[in-house]
Structure formats: C-alpha cells, structure tokens
Amino acid sequence: MTLDQPSDADRSIAKPETMAKMWKFVENFAEKSGTHLHPQREITEFLVIGLARNADELGKPLCPCMFFEDKQAEIEKKFWICPCEEMQRWKYCH
C-alpha cells in the first residue's frame, strides 16, 4: 500500500518560509530527542504541511492530526502544540 505524494496544491496552503521552518523544526526535534518520524516520508510531509498551515493561521504549530472544535482553546491548553506531550512520551509522531 502506498500513499499519494503531497501535491503542489497541498504544499501551497502554507507559506514556503513556514514550511521550511517546520521541516527544520521536525527534523531537529527528532534528532535531538530520539523521536522517530513516520517511515513513509509523505506522511511526515503531510504532517509538516498541516503544522505550517496552523502556524500561519493560528500562530502556533497545533497538531494537524486531531480535530479541534475550538483551535484557540486548544492552543491555550498547550497539550497539542507540536511536539505534543504524546509525542514527547512515546517518541513517535503519527
């Protein structure tokens, strides 16, 4: 089973500079913390796109893998800001 690659349309939902910043953040965090990124790079790329979009729209890299009825309330809780507490605990990102 393979997953489609993110398209240019997917990548365009966030600013290029934010995308670059989120890639650097994800890769550096994984290296420094011993966290494992998903073995399928396209899944990690979809995650980075979502983090970048949320950073652009909300000012924080809120986890794009979750549904939040009130994103601003979740930001204030800080639990699902990347790297979320589950990621720090289990050392694995979706």
Residue positions annotated with a catalytic role? 65
Q: What burial class does residue 34 get, using C-beta atoms within 10 Å of its C-beta: 0-12 exposed, 13-18 middle, 19+ buried?
A: exposed
Q: Would you give the DSSP letter of residue 65? A: T
CA distance 32 to 41: 19
